[in-house]
Amino acid sequence: MIRTLRSGIRAPGNPIALMHRMYRYVLPEVYAQLDRWRETAERIPDPELKKQAIASLSHKRFHCEGGAVYAAANLGKRHVLIPLIVAFQTISDYLDNLCDRSTSLDPADFRTLHQSMLDAVNPAAPLTDYYAHREERDDGGYLRELVRTCQSCVLLLPSYSLVRERVEELVGLYCDLQVYKHIRHDMREKELLRWWEQYRPRYAHLRWNEFAAATGSTLGVFCLFLAAADERLQPGQAETIARAYFPHVCGLHILLDYLIDQDEDRLGGDLNFCRYYETADTTAKQIAGMAERARRDVVTLEHSRFHRMVIEGLLALYLSDPKVKRQSQVREVSRQLMKGSPLTRIFFWVNSVWIRHRSQNRGYK
């Protein structure tokens, strides 16, 4: 069996060690990066692009906080991993805002915008006009600077050449999803189902909405970034990592995100993959099944305890969100998902404390 992350990397093996690294080393540097991008976003000339850039940095910053957990597994490379993860996730969140609240429903527009994510993970890619199909175009170089930051960081990862193909595959799936889920409402489900038919034989145990949800996660990409920071990474290990994370870890991540956003998405008219489950019991059963498959998958990885903590941390992060309390059906699903997992309960408590601390001291929401 191929073992991954088997170098001088010393990933934390218990919640206390992980939380210490996150709060002492990782999160302060994440906030420094986010402050930097906030300052850049404040200088965007176009008012709509500026509004969406600042909104993504203000309201989705927890995506960067969570994604940066992979830097906690290799503190010696955090000076590369944290700027890379924050910049890449910031592109994702910014484009999601642009597409969700878009003045356009043009799939060519969404495809061109998301070319920036493919360029970000290809250090040789030339930068193009990512706003070519929309009226709002003058971002003062904001998106290009994010792309260049990612490109410069991946060049500093000693084994990036070994993971690049798998990274580009996952990013390609992510970009496809963003195109299909943001087009005209009367077209999006049909296009998503047509897209799913290409992958159904490979992931026959999934429902179409579960596959689509899995493609919307960046966690597999971030884990591959971590692997690329290991100069001793061996050929073939990237495939093992990709299989361990996609589709179940990635699917769990995004299904939980959709679970707690159901009311918001209903009001905004946005697509929500949890709404395709027939009942609350079905929702809980399917997400719990995804979590169990994810736990089994990461056993194949070295430092499997770290990856297991990522899974339990996902459950705690989303199920401790204040949005859960405001949705009775989601509360019931949450209670079912919390059963039988003491590790999740530990993370639930720690995350609840951290949420209160964060809101009181820095105003991050």
Looking at residue 26, the DSSP 8-state letter turns out to be I
Pair 21, 80 in one domain? yes
| Domain closes at, from 97, 128, 156 | 156
- Of the two residues 303 and 267, the one the predictor is more confident about is 303
Look at residue 359 and tell me whether its pLDDT is greater than 50.
no
Q: Is residue 80 part of a domain?
A: yes
The predicted pLDDT at position 336 comes to 76
pLDDT-derived band at 343 (thresholds 50, 70, 90) equals low
Mean pLDDT of 161-186: 95
Pair 231, 133 in one domain? no
Pair 140, 265 in one domain? no
User: Percent helix, strand and coil across the chain, each rounded to 5?
Assistant: 75, 0, 25
Pair 262, 116 in one domain? no
Give per-residue pLDDT as tens, 230-287. 999 999 999 999 999 999 999 999 999 999 888 888 877 788 999 999 998 899 899 9
Quote the pTM value: 0.91
Long-range contacts of residues 281-285, Cβ cutoff 8 Å, at least 24 apart: 281/336, 283/259, 283/333, 284/332, 284/333, 284/336, 284/337
| Domain closes at, from 139, 156, 173 | 156
The mean predicted confidence, pLDDT, of the chain is 89
- Judged by average pLDDT, the poorest of 2-11, 92-101, 140-149, 249-258 is 2-11
The predicted pLDDT at position 163 comes to 98
Pair 168, 308 in one domain? yes
Q: Is residue 117 part of a domain?
A: yes
Pair 151, 194 in one domain? no
Pair 84, 45 in one domain? yes
| Domain closes at, from 156, 186, 210 | 156
Q: Distance between CA 313 and CA 65 in Å, rounded?
A: 12
- Judged by average pLDDT, the poorest of 186-200, 267-281, 319-333 is 319-333
The predicted pLDDT at position 334 comes to 75
The predicted pLDDT at position 356 comes to 45
The predicted pLDDT at position 332 comes to 77
Q: Is residue 1 part of a domain?
A: no
Pair 234, 108 in one domain? no
Pair 197, 94 in one domain? no
Question: Which residues span the domain enclosing 33?
Answer: 12-156
Quote the number of domains for the chain. Answer: 2
Pair 165, 203 in one domain? yes
- Of the two residues 147 and 3, the one the predictor is more confident about is 147
Pair 143, 213 in one domain? no
What is the rounded (10 degree) CA torsion for 156, 233, 118, 143? -30
Q: Is residue 7 part of a domain?
A: no
Joined together, the tokens standing for residue 222 give: 């971030």
pLDDT-derived band at 302 (thresholds 50, 70, 90) equals confident
Pair 309, 208 in one domain? yes
